[in-house]
Amino acid sequence: MARKATATSAKTQPNVPQFTNEQDLDAFREMLLIRRFEEKAGQMYGMGLIGGFCHLYIGQEAVVTGITMASEKGKDAQITGYRDHGHMLVMGLDPKGVMAELTGRQGGLSKGKGGSMHMFSNEHRFYGGNGIVGAQVSLGAGLAFASKYTGDGSVSIAYFGDGAANQGQVYETFNMAKLWKLPVVFIIENNKYAMGTSIERAAATTDFSKRGASFDIPGEQVDGMDVRMVYDAAKRAIEHARSGNGPYILEMLTYRYRGHSMSDPAKYRSKDEVTKYRQERDPIEQVRARLIEGGVVTEEDLKKIETEIRAIVTEAADFATNDPEPDPSELWTDITIEA
């Protein structure tokens, strides 16, 4: 049942699901927005406008884009760890609010009180933005528990990395999720490195799609650099969860181009490895090539999209630079709700 694909062999992958032109264009737009937004965030970090930790999603764009395209926006809940900017952009949260949160301004999604790792939206059903590695897995199962309890038909999508996949609470959660048949899809974003430690040095078994095996949770390894493969697998997994069959695991074979965070020079991997992914497997370039080769659009058309995306990012950056810091009185708000 499990379709196997690895990031390096996917070019010759048979039975690659086809996207309509609209889907390809949507995916191109969403992924490009993440890419340009993150590049801008990196630049603003370099300028000292963004502080603390800042984990960029560059390289992994196809994962959250394909999954979100396969989910019901506004109904299905999503939750992730600290590498969360891309998730919010694809889920429709305001790029200005995200960027202003990164710069710690009052117009940030969390009023400047959360920062890069802590942003949320009830309206879009995005539950963070969680800074503790692995915590989002049990929280995500809790979102699924609420769905089952109320019968609202939603699915919870919980993302975590290859590093978090070794945390104990992940397996506590797998057990309960299967035991109670919770509608949750676990997405393991395997970008090969938990900060600076490669999966080979940290994991006794590196096929993370099998990590649910002892709980009888089905799992698939997916080429996480090809948005079509991600979308196709996510459709299957979400449908499985929504129809009452319980949890599903998708291991996304992906790659981050930048360091773990802005202050990571990424000396633990070779330049060739990074270059190979960028040149041969880039998720955005794959779609761009398809669109051009298929004669769907011209270079000019894509340039126009790029200009539009750039304008959105520039607007977000300008807002985040000029928006004032939170009022000092905000120090004392939102600690508890007065009953």
Partner 1 sequence: MPQILMPALSPTMEEGKLAKWLVKVGDTVKSGDVLAEIETDKATMEVESVDEGVVKEILVEEGTEGVKVNTPIALVLGEGEEVGEGNRPAAQATSSDPEGQSAVPEAAAASVPAEPKAGGEAPKFVAQNDPDLPEGVEMVELTVRQALNEAMAEEMRSDANVFIMGEEVAEYQGAYKVTQGLLQEFGPQRVIDTPITEHGFAGLAVGAAFAGLKPIVEFMTWNFAMQAIDQIINSAAKQLYMSGGQVTAPMVFRGPNGAAARVAAQHSQDYSAWYSHVPGLTVIAPYSAADAKGLLKAAIRSPNPVVFLENEILYGSTGLVPKMDDFVLPIGKARIARKGADVTIVSFSMGMRYATQATEKLVAAGVDVELIDLRTLRPMDSDTVIESVKKTGRLVTVEEGWPQGGIGAELAARVMEQAFDYLDAPVLRVTGKDVPMPYAANLEKLALPNVDEVIAAVNAVTYRS
In this complex, which beta carbon is closest to partner 1, that of residue 6 or of residue 322? Answer: 322
Options 61-69, 215-223, 226-234, 328-336: segment touching partner 1 (CB under 8 A): 328-336
Binding to partner 1, residues 137-166 (CB under 8 A): 137-147, 149-150, 156
Interacting residue with partner 1 among 23, 175, 198, 206 (CB under 8 A): 175
- Per CB under 8 A, 279 contacts partner 1: no
Binding to partner 1, residues 301-320 (CB under 8 A): none
In the bound complex, what is the minimum distance in angstroms from residue 172's beta carbon to partner 1? 3
H, E, C per residue of the chain: CCCCCCCCCHHHCCCCCCCCHHHHHHHHHHHHHHHHHHHHHHHHHHCCCCCCCCCCCCCCHHHHHHHHHHCCCCCCEEECCCCCHHHHHHCCCCHHHHHHHHCCCCCCCCCCCCCCCCCCECCCCECCCCCCCCHHHHHHHHHHHHHHHHCCCCCEEEEEECCHHHCHHHHHHHHHHHHCCCCEEEEEEECCEECCEEHHHHCCCCCHHHCCHHHCCCEEEEECCCHHHHHHHHHHHHHHHHHHHCCEEEEEECCCCCCCCCCCCCCCCCHHHHHHHHHHHCHHHHHHHHHHHCCCCCHHHHHHHHHHHHHHHHHHHHHHHHCCCCCHHHHHCCCCCCC
Binding to partner 1, residues 180-199 (CB under 8 A): none
In the bound complex, what is the minimum distance in angstroms from residue 337's beta carbon to partner 1? 4
Binding to partner 1, residues 208-237 (CB under 8 A): none
**Distance between CA atoms of 183 and 144, rounded to whole angstroms?**
5
- Per-residue interface string for the shown chain with partner 1, residues 81-110, x marking contact by CB under 8 A: ----------------------x----xxx
In this complex, which beta carbon is closest to partner 1, that of residue 4 or of residue 304? Answer: 304
Number of residues that bind partner 1 (CB under 8 A): 77
Interacting residue with partner 1 among 122, 204, 205, 295 (CB under 8 A): 122
- Per CB under 8 A, 14 contacts partner 1: no
**Distance between CA atoms of 217 and 183, rounded to whole angstroms?**
12
Interacting residue with partner 1 among 263, 280, 294, 304 (CB under 8 A): 263
Interacting residue with partner 1 among 3, 29, 94, 113 (CB under 8 A): 113
In this complex, which beta carbon is closest to partner 1, that of residue 35 or of residue 83? Answer: 35
In the bound complex, what is the minimum distance in angstroms from residue 256's beta carbon to partner 1? 13
- Per CB under 8 A, 295 contacts partner 1: no
- Per CB under 8 A, 289 contacts partner 1: no
Interacting residue with partner 1 among 208, 257, 277, 319 (CB under 8 A): 257
